Every structure is written in structure tokens, then in C-alpha cells.
Amino acid sequence: MTRNERSEVSRNGFKRIAVVRVRGRARVREDVEDTLKMLRLTRVNYCTIIDDREAYQGMLGKIKDYATWGEVDEEDVATILKNRGELAGGEKITDAYVKKNTKHSSINAFAKAFINFKAELQDIPNLNLFFRLHPPRKGYEGIKRSIKEGGALGNRGKLKELIYRMR
């Protein structure tokens, strides 16, 4: 995405969304599995951060029975990057690495720019574009039911509470 496209996206009021895979691989239809792979959600408790463009909304509709998602703010993104951000080879991401390899001074500064669509995860060299989260403390609410039915699947609105249980 070019700088002009990023500024156009941010002007249109798009938001960042974190998507977490909740259910495993058993009995998953091929088209759903392909969509999960496109989102880099190949395993349970993997997380990826996207925006809420119409194309992604269609993908979320397809994987609604296997994942949960919600809006994130800069504090959430910074928490994910600090606790679960990894470089190729398994190294943890640090403020020093971000300062050396990007124009941002720290992970918090990068998270702020990322939320405002002035940066992308790809701007950090060698960063894995998915995050391997810890299983949530006290577990999921139920992996076979939607949020509306008291479960864990589908759109949560805000994902802050789940992210803090999984960091």
C-alpha cells in the first residue's frame, strides 16, 4: 500500500482489527481453510491485525465460525508487539530494533503511526506478520458458540479484554 493509499484509507474512517483463530483444523471446509491461510491464521491462538476494508469484511464473514475479532487501539497494538512480536528466527522485537530499522523511535511510536495508517507492519523488516498468542487465562467462553450466544466466536466489538488475557 502506498503512502497516498494509506492516507486515503485513514481519511475514510477505517479502523484496525485484530483477528484471533479460536478453533482448530478438524472438519474445516477447504474454502474456509484457504481464507484462514490468507489471513495467516494457520493455528489456534494465532492473531493478525488487518483493517476493516470491504474485502476483509467478506473474509471475516467466511471465517466467523472459527475466529473472533474486534477493534484495537494503539495500546493494544503496542502490547501485542512488545509481548508477542517476533522477527524471523524467533527473536523478540525491541524498541532498539524498531528505532534502528524504521523511522519510529519506539514500539509505542510505531503503534501510534500504525493505528493512524501512517505505517504498516511490513515497515518493520523481518517481522512475522502474525502473532502467536498465549491461550487465554480462564479460557474461552465457548468455542462452538457466537458472542451473541455467550461464546467466543465472531465480532466482539473491542478485543482489548481478550488480548490482555492472551498476552
**How many residues does this entry show for the chain?**
167
Q: Angle at the Cα of 35 (from 24 to 133), degrees rounded to 5? A: 45
Q: What is the pLDDT of residue 7?
A: 46
Q: Is the dihedral of CA 148, 37, 131, 79 positive or negative?
A: negative
Q: What is the pLDDT of residue 67?
A: 94
Distance from C-alpha of 36 to C-alpha of 23, rounded to nearest angstrom: 11
β strands within the chain, DSSP E: 16-21, 46-51, 67-71, 131-132, 154-158
Q: What is the pLDDT of residue 81?
A: 94
Distance from C-alpha of 4 to C-alpha of 8, rounded to nearest angstrom: 6
Q: What is the pLDDT of residue 139?
A: 86
Give, for all 167 residues of the chain, the pLDDT tens digit. 555 555 454 446 789 999 999 999 999 999 999 999 999 999 999 999 999 999 999 999 999 999 999 999 999 999 999 999 999 888 999 999 999 999 999 999 999 999 999 999 999 999 999 999 999 998 888 888 888 898 889 899 898 898 999 88
Q: What is the pLDDT of residue 11?
A: 47
- Domains identified in the chain and CATH numbers: 3-73+131-162 (3.30.1390.20), 74-123 (1.10.15)
